[in-house]
């Protein structure tokens, strides 16, 4: 056991929240610009997309609420905020209605699945996501997407703050660099979410719907 983990355990962190009774799948910013190393991608983002495709097929089979997010800014700069001071190049790339801000082909949304536009890291900030989930009786959010250290982290923390249990399948989140990815998974798991393997998430879904959850890939 690492010295870091010993400190957290001594102080009582790292307990399990566990799944509730009604999960939803959140797919955060798996858009073309964030899967392009020449723009904002790189690292393990493609493998996270591939793994999320498997989970998405199961969520569709179970008829779970599914929400994608795309990070966008109006070309007239009317939607710019303080966040853009840290990453000004986003303004010129993340333009609504362009290929850069479309969900990647492997995860193409279907009719009835929400695509939510956002301007800040969290999918909850200045959006109606919390109300949308509450309307559907959701108590658990399975958070996938990128980047682990940015929009995934912010969304998971805000999910917890809004009363939803955040579950993070580690194979289904990605970052442009390994260090921030691993550090944030550790911290999220200790304080804000349950970081689980994809197989563990699939097992939980099978437990909630034992007669329906046996589906592999495709969809």
Active-site residue identified among 67, 146, 151, 172: 151
Q: How does DSSP classify residue 104?
A: P
* CA dihedral angle for residue 123, residue 130, residue 25, residue 212, rounded to 10 degrees: -170
CB 31 within 8 A of CB 101: yes
Establish whether the linkage from the previous residue to 147 is cis, with ω within 30° of 0: yes
Is 151 catalytic? The answer is yes
Q: How far apart are CA 1 and CA 22, in angstroms?
A: 34
Q: Which residue has the tokens 């966040």?
A: 83
Question: What's phi and psi for 142, nearest 5 deg?
Answer: -90, 110
* Residues whose CB falls within 8 Å of the CB of residue 80, separated by 6 or more in sequence, listed in order: 73, 91
Q: How far apart are CA 49 and CA 45, in angstroms?
A: 6
Please give the positions annotated as active site. Answer: 151
């Amino acid at each position: 056991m690492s010295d870091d983990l010993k400190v957290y355990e001594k102080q009582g962190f790292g307990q399990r929240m566990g799944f509730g009774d009604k999960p939803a799948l959140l797919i955060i910013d798996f858009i073309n610009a964030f899967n392009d190393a020449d723009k904002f991608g790189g690292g393990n983002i493609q493998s996270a997309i591939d793994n999320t495709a498997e989970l998405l097929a199961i969520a569709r089979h179970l008829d779970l609420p599914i929400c994608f997010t795309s990070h966008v800014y109006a070309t007239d700069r009317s939607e710019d905020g303080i966040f853009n001071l840290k990453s000004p190049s986003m303004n010129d790339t993340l333009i609504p209605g362009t290929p850069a801000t479309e969900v990647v082909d492997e995860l193409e949304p279907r009719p009835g699945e929400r695509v939510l536009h956002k301007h800040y890291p969290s999918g909850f900030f200045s959006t109606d996501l919390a109300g949308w989930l509450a309307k559907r009786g959701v108590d658990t959010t399975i958070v996938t997407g990128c980047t682990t250290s940015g929009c995934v982290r912010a969304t998971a923390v805000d999910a917890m703050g809004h009363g939803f249990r955040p579950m993070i399948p580690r194979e289904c989140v990605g970052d442009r660099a390994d260090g921030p990815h691993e550090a944030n998974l550790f911290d999220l798991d200790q304080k804000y979410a349950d970081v689980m393997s994809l197989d563990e998430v699939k097992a939980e879904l099978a437990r909630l719907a034992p007669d329906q959850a046996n589906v592999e890939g495709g969809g």
